[in-house]
Amino acid sequence: MTSPPEHLMPSAIGQEPFPREVVAEHQRERVIKAAIDVFAKRGYRGATVGNLVSAAKVGVNSFYGLFDGKEDCFLAVYDQVAADSFGRVAAAVPRGSEWSRQVAAAMRALLELIEEQPLAARIAFVEVHTAGPAARGLHERDLDRVAALLRRGRAQSPITDELPDTLEYAIAGGLAWLLQQRIVIGEAAGISKLLPETLEIAVEPYLGEAATAELIE
């Protein structure tokens, strides 16, 4: 049986503990929340299970009841960060508006999110590369998700036939790479000022120079 951490153990003998699933779910959330800090500040390599359990205030046994180990924990952390970010960005996109306006709104929301949560951004754009092949697989999966969203721009483009097939993956990969670089050199704060350039990267291939300049205005 998975036990709650020492300090949550009921002191009175015979008292019923919380239902096991509730405790586990609660612990899992708490570990993930704490692990964002630990992985972002120490780096994936520098972080130990010891750091994770002490930051999350759970026992080692509880930790291993929730995750197979450090890597498994990181994958859960990344997935959580990615899901939250996609959700947050999607919520900022106005329904039914033009594709280019949607991209602009999404990009603005993403950059603001990075400013607001630099530690989570570090997980999503930097540490994901250092955490092994499974993490990189998740990162590629998310680049493909972004690429699929960008691909809708082809419907708006007068030159669809001429666009190379790899365009969207290159844009998504290029943006992720750019954000990674900025975060690494400590420029997460103020990253919103890159909005015009990131829009140029994402939208210009479809709409051309003039329409992109108008959108950026």
Binding residues (CB under 8 A) for another protein: these are 44-45, 126, 129-133, 140, 143, 159, 162, 164-167, 169-178, 180-181, 184-185, 194, 197-198, 200-201, 204-205, 208-209
Closer by beta carbon to another protein, 87 or else 137: 137
Q: Output the CA–CA distances (angstroms, integers) from residue 134 to 128, 130, 141, in the order listed.
A: 9, 10, 11
Q: Provide, rounded to whole angstroms, the least separation between the CB of residue 154 and another protein.
A: 13
Nearest approach in angstroms of CB 167 to another protein is 7
Q: Is residue 154 helix, strand or coil?
A: helix
- As measured in angstroms, the least distance from the Cβ of 59 to another protein is 27
Please report how close the Cβ of residue 159 comes to another protein at its closest, in angstroms: 5
Looking at the Cβ atoms of 20 and 136, the one nearer to another protein is: 136
Query: Could you report how far apart the first and last alpha carbons of the chain are, in Å?
Result: 60
Using the minimum distance from each CB to another protein, give the nearer residue, 81 or 127: 127
Q: Which is nearer to another protein, 28 or 139 (CB)?
A: 139
Q: How far is the CB of 15 from another protein (least distance, A)?
A: 45
| Inter-residue contact 210 to 137 (CB < 8 Å) | no
Spatial CB neighbours of 27, under 8 Å, sequence gap ≥ 6: 4, 5, 56, 58, 62, 66
C-alpha 103/C-alpha 95 separation (Å) is 12
Q: Are 52 and 34 in contact (CB under 8 A)?
A: yes
Number of H helices, E strands in the chain: 9, 0
Question: Which residue number, 19 or 164, has a Cβ lying nearer to another protein?
Answer: 164
